[in-house]
Amino acid sequence: MLDAVYIDHQLHDFAKQLGRYDVHVKAGKPVSDVEAREMIAHANRAIFVLEGLISIVDELRYDREKFEKLIMDLDDDYDLVRSFQERLNPVIPSHKELKELSDRVLDGLIKAQNELGLIIATHEA
């Protein structure tokens, strides 16, 4: 069940979409308004999925290895979102909205990592 939740969820898709813009960073190009607006839809889906994941994490069948992998994947996604945020210009309305949504994604990533860490600690105690 955990694999289905993580592999299919939109959070990973959001992170992959952000990775697509990594080419811009290497080329020194800023994120365009159009690109930011595209990312807003992905960010909204990521928030929805994160909220769902956090609410069901206690009900997932415990598997330390899978939980630890998920924590590492969530951490990678956190780093990618954070790096992307640094390229946003809050003067542009779509960038400002995407920054606010990305903050919510980052908060959800931290909560999900913490919940999974607590479950591991509880089972290993």
**Total domains, the chain:** 1
Residue-number span of the structural domain to which 60 is assigned: 2-124
What is the H or E stretch that residue 12 is in? helix 10-20
**Whole-number Å distance between alpha carbons of 125 and 33:** 49
pLDDT digits (tens, 9 = 90+) for 55-107: 787 777 888 888 898 899 889 889 888 888 888 898 999 999 999 999 999 99
Q: Which two tokens stand for residue 86?
A: 């640094």
Q: How far apart, in whole angstroms, are the C-alpha atoms of residue 122 and residue 125?
A: 5
Reported pTM: 0.77
Confirm if 63 and 2 have CB atoms less than 8 A apart.
Answer: yes
Q: How far apart are CA 15 and CA 42, in angstroms?
A: 9
Identify which of 1-5, 22-26, 96-100 has the greatest average pLDDT. 96-100
**What's the distance, CA 36 to chain centroid?**
16
Task: Tell me how far apart the alpha carbons of residues 25 and 82 are, in angstroms, rounded to a whole number.
Answer: 13
pLDDT for res 2: 47
Quick check: 24 pLDDT over 60? Answer: no
19 vs 112, residue with greater confidence? 112
